[in-house]
């Protein structure tokens, strides 16, 4: 079994390889908050174990074995982040450090149980993809918000820097994943003027670099609109996203099978009285008030 420190280095190299190849020792030191001599010592160990390739004066890259180990750690980290937010109700800016500790204390069987509980959700709360159990990562055609041009309309898909202070700012500005913005102006220094829900927002280039986004087509905005489950019409499908109403509501929903990421079919909804919904192949009757506290996104709203 590999040590926590080894797993942390492999995870850091894997993430940095997306923008830098090979990864320099100075970048690793900065990402992990350690000294260059400490990085040098660990590189020797990782190379001896066949987990990295090292090119003097250039940097390191993961071997196939090192990549598999890194993706396993990343998978576990992001699953724990989902569990902490979706099941325990923690804020998205409070889960990263806890997940860093929990990712090392889980067996493959526990990992599979955790993924099953979360209905095999494919992103963490910050929008970053969760590798599957085979190490495959869902392809995302995304790029930094800073790379888009004036006039383009984009959807925020992920925040790649999981710093608590940054995440709180992003939430305050309304730029969490799935937010749709239009680029109104782009200054020479990279500052962006965005239009969000009719409001103007100025964003510096550094922050824009941390936000991943994808272009959206006209009319696509409604596809990810979060609505109360009570608004689903008879025959419509939705994907369960969250709840309102506190821990008591959370416990009731989980006991009935309404887990985050679950597909829900509205079997009967007459706009008044109880509704009948199907989740995990089980039909469940619940009142309009409770259905209004379960938040979903419609599936194929055009159908």
Check if the beta carbon of residue 273 is closer than 8 Å to that of residue 285: no
**CATH number corresponding to 143-221:** 2.30.30.90
Check if the beta carbon of residue 235 is closer than 8 Å to that of residue 277: no
Domain ranges of the chain: 4-62, 143-221, 225-299
Asked if pLDDT for residue 297 goes beyond 90, the answer is no
Give the CATH fold of the 225-299 domain. Answer: SH3 type barrels. (2.30.30)
Bigger pLDDT: 159 vs 199 = 159
DSSP string, 115-143: HHHTTT-SB-TTSPBPP-TTS-------E
Sign of CA dihedral 128, 82, 75, 26: positive
Pick the CATH number of 4-62 from 1.10.287.3510, 3.40.190.10, 3.60.21.70, 1.10.10.10: 1.10.10.10
Confidence at residue 226, expressed as pLDDT on a 0 to 100 scale? 78
Same-fold call for 143-221 versus 225-299? yes
**Phi, psi (deg, nearest 5) at residue 107:** -90, 165
Q: Which of 46-55, 139-148, 294-303 has the lowest mean pLDDT?
A: 294-303
Confidence at residue 260, expressed as pLDDT on a 0 to 100 scale? 84
CA-CA distance, 145 to 177, in Å (whole number)?
12
Verdict on whether the full-model pTM lies above 0.85 = no
Residue given tokens 């379960």 in the structure block: 294
Per-residue pLDDT tens for 224-280?
667 889 988 888 888 888 888 777 777 888 888 888 888 999 999 987 789 999 998
User: Given pLDDT bands bounded at 50, 70 and 90, which one contains residue 302?
Assistant: very low
User: Given pLDDT bands bounded at 50, 70 and 90, which one contains residue 140?
Assistant: confident
């Amino acid at each position: 079994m590999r040590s926590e420190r080894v797993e942390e280095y492999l995870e850091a190299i894997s993430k940095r390889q997306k923008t830098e190849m090979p990864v320099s020792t100075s970048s690793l030191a900065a990402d992990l908050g350690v000294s260059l001599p400490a990085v040098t010592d660990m590189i020797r160990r990782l190379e001896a174990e066949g987990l990295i390739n090292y090119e003097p004066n250039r940097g390191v890259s993961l071997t196939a074995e090192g990549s598999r180990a890194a993706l396993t750690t990343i998978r576990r980290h992001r699953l724990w982040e989902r569990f902490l937010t979706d099941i325990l109700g923690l804020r998205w800016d409070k889960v990263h450090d806890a997940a860093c500790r929990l990712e090392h204390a889980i067996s493959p069987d526990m990992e599979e149980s955790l993924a099953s509980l979360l209905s095999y959700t494919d992103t963490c709360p910050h929008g970053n993809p969760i590798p599957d159990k085979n190490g495959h990562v869902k392809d995302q055609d995304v790029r930094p918000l800073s790379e888009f041009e004036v006039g383009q309309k984009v959807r925020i898909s992920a925040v790649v820097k999981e710093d608590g202070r940054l995440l709180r700012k992003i939430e305050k500005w309304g730029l969490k994943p799935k937010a749709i913005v239009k680029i109104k102006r782009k200054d020479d220094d990279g500052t962006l003027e965005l239009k969000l829900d009719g409001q103007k927002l100025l964003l510096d280039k550094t922050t824009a670099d941390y936000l991943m986004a994808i272009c959206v087509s006209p009319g696509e905005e409604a596809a990810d609109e979060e609505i109360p489950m009570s608004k689903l019409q008879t025959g419509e499908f939705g994907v369960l996203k969250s709840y309102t109403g506190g821990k008591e509501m959370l416990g009731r929903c989980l006991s009935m099978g309404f887990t985050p990421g679950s597909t829900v079919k509205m079997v009967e909804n007459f706009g008044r009285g109880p509704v009948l919904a199907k989740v995990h192949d089980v039909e469940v009757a619940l009142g309009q008030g409770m259905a209004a506290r379960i938040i979903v996104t419609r599936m194929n709203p055009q159908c």
